[in-house]
């Protein structure tokens, strides 16, 4: 039996119903909450990422390409959605300053080492927002760091910037040997 690791990607207010929110993002909130509860019942490791920007976001490279202020540290939009936060429990929160996190795979490696679990005996599942930006970025970083670990994305617990981009990104991840559930 493989040891499960669940990654909750950027389930923050600005991505759910804030400045970059969508009805599709709002719709996955209950599914993500159930996924977290199920993972906790299985004693899985649970991590959550938080997109984190500073007040000068619009002056950054990302801000020039996506000129919508979001996830500015210490704002309401930066906070994890209330329903998700309520069930996260003792999940480890990783702030990230770009689409993908290089801290996340090292935090996972550290936990696996502490628990004496070989990466090939683990499976990593990602859910969250946005499929076509941060979910895929983190999935590919994790695939590169843990090439022999099963990496999965639950498509029913993800939403993209648009439904079309969500579907296209799922196909891209399949091509990279990330299992789409």
pLDDT tens-digit readout, 131-172: 999 999 999 999 999 999 999 999 999 999 999 999 999 999
pLDDT tens-digit readout, 36-85: 999 999 999 999 999 999 999 999 999 999 999 999 999 999 999 999 99
- Pairwise CA distance, residues 153 & 151, whole Å: 7
CA-based nearest residue to 89, from 127, 146, 47, 57:
47
Q: Domain containing 96: what range?
A: 3-180
User: pLDDT-based confidence at 1, cuts 50/70/90?
Assistant: confident
DSSP string, 50-101: EE-B-TTGGGSHHHHHS-S---BTTSGGGSB-HHHHHHHTTPEEEEESSSS-
Q: Give the count of domains, the chain.
A: 1
**Location of structure tokens 């099963």:** 150
Q: What is the CATH number of the domain that holds 54?
A: 3.40.50.850
pLDDT tens-digit readout, 21-31: 999 999 999 99
pLDDT tens-digit readout, 83-120: 999 999 989 999 999 999 999 999 999 999 999 999 99
pTM above 0.95, yes or no: yes
Asked whether the beta carbons of 127 and 157 are under 8 A apart, the reply is: yes
Asked whether the beta carbons of 45 and 4 are under 8 A apart, the reply is: yes
Q: Ramachandran region of residue 72, left (φ > 0), alpha (ψ -120 to 50) or beta? A: beta
């Amino acid at each position: 039996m493989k040891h499960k690791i669940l990654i909750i990607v950027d389930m923050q207010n600005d991505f759910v119903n804030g400045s970059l929110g969508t009805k599709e993002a709002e719709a996955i909130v209950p599914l993500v909450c159930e996924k977290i509860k199920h993972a906790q019942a299985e004693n899985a490791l649970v991590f959550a990422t938080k997109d984190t920007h500073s007040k000068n976001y619009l002056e950054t490279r990302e801000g020039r390409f996506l000129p919508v202020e979001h996830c500015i540290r210490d704002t309401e939009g930066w906070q994890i959605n209330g329903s998700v936060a309520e069930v996260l429990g003792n999940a480890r929160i990783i702030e990230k300053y770009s689409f993908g996190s290089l801290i996340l795979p090292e935090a996972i490696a550290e936990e696996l080492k502490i628990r004496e679990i070989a990466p090939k005996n683990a499976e990593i599942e990602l859910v969250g927002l946005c499929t076509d930006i941060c979910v895929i970025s983190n999935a590919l970083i994790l695939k590169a760091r843990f090439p022999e670990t099963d990496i999965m994305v639950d498509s029913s617990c993800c939403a993209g910037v648009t439904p079309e981009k969500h579907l296209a990104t799922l196909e891209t991840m399949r091509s990279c040997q990330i299992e789409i559930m």
